[in-house]
Structure 1
Amino acid sequence: MKTILIVEDEMTISRVLKAYLDKNGFTTIQSYSGSEALQAFSAHNPDLILLDVMLPDGDGWSVLEALRKDSTTPVIMLTALGDVDYRLKGLTSGADDYITKPFIGEEVVARVQAVLRRSRTLLQTGDIKQYGSLKINLQSHTVHLSGEEVTFTPKDLSLFLFLANHPNQTFTREQLIENVWGMDYEGSDRAVDLAIKRIRKALGGWSSEQGEIRTLRGMGYQFSVYEA
């Protein structure tokens, strides 16, 4: 049974979210502030977090930033702000999805199930790939650079492992959305560009002589590796 941490200071909304998630077989934990959320996260290690942007002791972005320092737990942002800049900020900061208020309870459950499904079905092969100082374990879903583990958000890890499992093949944004985000994704395909940017930053110590994440203009992205 998956555990969902609900971080929402409006009691009515929190109760509605809890009711829908409980009805669909999830275990729920409720927090009403950023500080409570971080304490609950440490105590319960939830499988996913529903995180409101507006909180009484700060905002959801600072909570997300604190979580992403040492965790890849999926996070769905809840916001009453429909502006595209806030959506992009969430994706850039490492959120896995966003839901704009007012929302339908069934939609929240569907989004939660979709994010959990994508994080659970990254790749099923047991290969270990080594490209110079970069080591990719497709079974344990880990990436090491010069012996140090590289930390990605769940979505970025899914994207990177998909590309790494198909070296020197080019994929359009649409193909990457379908294979990594899923057919039910309704956001902008710019999420792919933002994820690629974060992946490149995380792999900053990987020599371009060994390989690179290439952008092929008008075609898409490719995990390019070069023979020694």
Structure 2
Amino acid sequence: MSTVPASPDSADAQALVLVAEDEPEIAEILQAYLRRAGLRTAHAPDGQRALDMHLSMKPDLVLLDVQMPKRDGWQVLAEIRHRGQTPVIMLTAMDQDIDKLMGLRSGADDYVVKPFNTAEVVARTQAVLRRAMAQTQVQARVLRVPPFEIDLDQHEALVHLDGITHALSLTLTEFRLLTHLARAPRRVHTRAELLAACLPEGDALERTVDSHISKLRRKLESLGVEGTPLGIRGVGYRLWGAE
């Protein structure tokens, strides 16, 4: 058996991997290697449980055995793809090309044949997670923090409220402030931070931030969005209140 790899300092650390595998020994070994690599794990012993856990836990990646009870891997993969784009790596004892093609054409991100080198499975898992993360970062050019949708490339801010979409007419500074707050909507942003990030061109004073925030708040209130940005006395602002 291969030596368990050392834990790396990687961008995919703390991602949650759902191991859908009906053989307890294989599942245990996979989880041990994944945890040693800095990943969190959960185990589903059959296809139906895998779908239930995918829905409730929203894992970052699924290691999916093909031959499982209740629902096989192809059925699970089809349902996961119906729900979204969670990365999936298929695990199977079938090594014929037609089986591999079936998995990839069904939307699998990678394919590993048993018996496999567990360290290689971990490496492939990390590679798929990195690709998924890079794709997410590209897609993140649109920030979605309900009721706001902020398109950074089009420089457009929308408010979705009661089934109606409103376009916000914002100044450059107001757009920057809303975007900055939306990136971490429950964190308190100091006036000095907002000044440096959103009004970098001149020698504006911190009280200038208050003026721009006030104008932004009035525009939001006119659309029915109340209480945001929220002022924190003596500190600064956050988009929403504490959880």
Q: TM-score, normalised by structure 1?
A: 0.54
Partner of 1:89: 102
Q: 1:28 aligns with which of 41, 50, 53?
A: 41
Structure 2 runs not aligned, ≥5 long: 1-13, 143-150, 154-243
Match of 2:122 in 1: 109
Partners of 1:57 and 1:6 in 2: how far apart?
Answer: 16
Equivalences, count: 131
Residue 79 of structure 1: aligned partner: 92
- Contact in 2 for aligned 1:3/1:47 (Cα 8 Å): yes
Q: How does 1:163-174 map to 2 (within 5 A)?
A: none
SS of the aligned residue for 1:25 comes to coil
In structure 2, C-alpha distance between the alignment counterparts of 1:64 and 1:83, rounded to whole Å: 19
What secondary structure is seen at the aligned counterpart in 2 of 1:76? strand
Does the CA-based 8 Å contact 2:48-2:71 persist in structure 1? no
Aligned to 2:232: none
* Structure 1 partner of 2:54: 41
Identity of aligned residues (%): 46
Q: Which has the higher contact order (CA 8 A, sep 6+)?
A: 1
Give the alignment of 1:6-21 within 5 angstroms. Answer: 6-21=19-34
Question: How far apart are residue 138 of structure 1 and its match?
Answer: 9.3
C-alpha deviation, 1:58, in angstroms:
3.1
In 2: Cα distance, 1:13 partner to 1:125 partner: 35
Which sections of structure 1, spanning at least 5 residues, go unmatched? 129-136, 140-228
1:119 and 2:132 aligned: yes
Correspondence 1:62 to 2:75: yes
RMSD of Structure 2 on Structure 1 (CA):
2.0
Deviating beyond 4 angstroms after TM superposition, the runs of 4 or more aligned structure 1 residues are: 123-128
1:123-157 per-position Cα deviation (integer Å, ceiling 9, x unaligned): 649879xxxxxxxx897xxxxxxxxxxxxxxxxxx
Asked whether the 8 Å contact 1:124–1:138 carries over to 2, the reply is no
